[in-house]
Structure 1
């Protein structure tokens, strides 16, 4: 890793409620580290194989076996980070995945907190920086994310919650049951931050995004400056409908001066310009690389990225209009 009078952490843990901005922040932070001379990688929460979680479900024959398997994964991950020249920005794995995968399956909160402490013990020698988006009132926050991500996403989570051991033990169901889960989940994460004994920056919604990003940059030892993304002179050339060989369609349009992809993942995924003809989907580890025809008109884009659960969008999309 690059040497600096203000060394960057080898590991940054980014945590918070769904919709709090974790993935957007982790993506931004990895690019900002790179921009300031520190090699960095962003580990998206659902990518597979995952450097902590692996590529297959952990065994669940007993909680002892399950948690032991997970702790072994964390130990291997910590060893890999220790020997890497790049900083690792880990998205949603330390708290959200740890709590979600145990609380929903019926593990008691006291044991969950002890497990998180053991994970913290494994990564503490790396002196990681924990960025935590606190949510004092999780119910309206979760309602907002359901509205933003749509009915299909919300119904999927209601169905999963209704079938979970957590819901059965409490007689909880439907949307109210889902809200109750996230209230308990959020309170448990708040407690875990204090129990972990890692250096942590806790951020709440009272500050705007520029203020929060400035606080994060200073916390991890970066020089703060509002970043200016690489820009294309004419974004309108990318606007249109694109279709893959499998028949999947994606429409690109302009909103508030930014290129937006409809029906890529959620409605209205913003695209971040990284270089001429190269964009990333905001909050997702997906890259769109555009190609031109002999007349230099945009003809297609190639969508690349890691394996993600239930997402099979990779490939070439030809422009149709």
Structure 2
């Protein structure tokens, strides 16, 4: 048997388990130990390319997304965590322009000064075009001019009618799935995407559960070739989650969210301020629970009220079929690091940093000179008196991949 062909067969999602033993036996008898060990890792794992995490706000989606990514990588599995506010996001729409091909052509004809830039940075899907607005704002706004930029914002997908949004969303998920299948050795971790974002979009428009469930079912069909799995976090008492969220982030945060979205049809006739958002969260919880039970993918639900996270982490690892692996012992070089171009500063003190927004964050060693940043998909790589940003970018510009921060001499 040709080992290369054998490897392709093993990665096929349609392979039945009873074939694995015979193929592993053939591989084990060969000198290709690297192949054998790789297949053993993949066979023990659940076999997914897509891990979805869902639950209400403040149920641990972000924290556990990072935990899963770290443990997958420590188990020698290539993994990427796509944060809820990753920029640009491969399946969601935060500050993203959406156009049809005809609209894109008409726009670049009307604003020819934008054509070269937009054609270079846009994502061209089957029938739609996506443009990351923050990238335009950060790097090209002065070039294209304020008038063209303002015209672009009129195509923000967040403001689309729901039926138009659904078309763009399904095509974006399809584009992601097709790209993901090109590298079957990579596992993606995505939080708050298949339930949370969609619940917001549908609840805002006062749509019923059946319409939402039908839409998400279409998404499930699109990602099925990735053999997705779902991890759902919840508290039996929804009010306990709302109380935790208010205590953790403050009543002002709940007021802010209500004020941001108060013009949505959902809030018509609802209480104002924090109380209005609390009602939204109750309706959100009902929809999310129903979606979990109707979901056709491999799934697990975790009740988190007792706060015993080590036990819950073990449940996650068991579900995924991987072992808990310890990380290296390493410490970065403390000091103040500055990006001269933008004036951003990162203060490093052992395994703690203060990021350019003033947030204090914990570092977790990845390698002797690379460190995960708590709560973010960002990685700091320390090289020759400087920090180089790697990992994935979020909506904050300081996390831009490849950005360099030089150590300042005191």
Whether TM exceeds 0.5 here: the answer is: yes
Match of 1:51 among 79, 90, 102: 90
Partner of 1:160: 260
**Per-residue deviation, 1:218:** 1.4
Could you give the per-residue CA deviations for residues 16-54 of structure 1, whole angstroms, max 9, x where no partner exists? 222222122222212322322332222222112222236
**Per-residue deviation, 1:154:** 4.7
Assess if the C-alpha contact under 8 Å between 2:336 and 2:348 holds in 1: yes
Partner of 2:395: 309
1:186 & 1:63 partners in 2: Cα distance? 21
Partner of 2:328: 230
Assess if the C-alpha contact under 8 Å between 2:380 and 2:388 holds in 1: yes
Q: 1:151 to 1:290 in 2, by over 3 A?
A: farther
1:103 & 1:266 partners in 2: Cα distance? 34
Partner of 2:366: 274
1:3 & 1:290 partners in 2: Cα distance? 33
Q: What does residue range 161-180 of structure 1 map to in structure 2 within 5 Å?
A: 161-168=261-268, 170-180=269-279
- In proportion to residue count, which structure has more helix? 2
Partner of 2:39: 3
2:160 & 2:274 partners in 1: Cα distance? 30
**Per-residue deviation, 1:73:** 1.8
Helix, strand or coil: the match of 1:69? helix
1:267 & 1:145 partners in 2: Cα distance? 19
Assess if the C-alpha contact under 8 Å between 1:161 and 1:178 holds in 2: no
Which sections of structure 2, spanning at least 5 residues, go unmatched?
1-10, 12-37, 98-155
Which sections of structure 1, spanning at least 5 residues, go unmatched?
293-298
2:243 & 2:337 partners in 1: Cα distance? 32
Query: Are 1:189 and 2:279 an aligned pair?
Result: no
Partner of 2:121: none
Q: TM-score, normalised by structure 1?
A: 0.82
Partner of 2:312: 212
Partner of 1:119: 219
Partner of 1:109: 209
Assess if the C-alpha contact under 8 Å between 1:58 and 1:70 holds in 2: no
Query: Are 1:318 and 2:407 an aligned pair?
Result: yes
Assess if the C-alpha contact under 8 Å between 1:133 and 1:203 holds in 2: yes
Helix, strand or coil: the match of 1:158? helix
Q: 1:104 to 1:320 in 2, by over 3 A?
A: farther
Helix, strand or coil: the match of 1:75? helix
Assess if the C-alpha contact under 8 Å between 2:84 and 2:190 holds in 1: yes
Match of 2:197 among 72, 79, 97: 97
**Per-residue deviation, 1:191:** 0.6
1:118 & 1:83 partners in 2: Cα distance? 21
**Per-residue deviation, 1:3:** 2.4
Could you give the per-residue CA deviations for residues 200-233 of structure 1, whole angstroms, max 9, x where no partner exists? 11001136112111111111221x33x322222x
Could you give the per-residue CA deviations for residues 284-306 of structure 1, whole angstroms, max 9, x where no partner exists? 111222345xxxxxx44333454
Report the count of equivalent residues: 305
Assess if the C-alpha contact under 8 Å between 1:59 and 1:65 holds in 2: no
1:130 & 1:179 partners in 2: Cα distance? 25
> Considering only aligned residues, what root-mean-square deviation do their CA atoms show, in Å?
2.8
Assess if the C-alpha contact under 8 Å between 1:45 and 1:93 holds in 2: yes
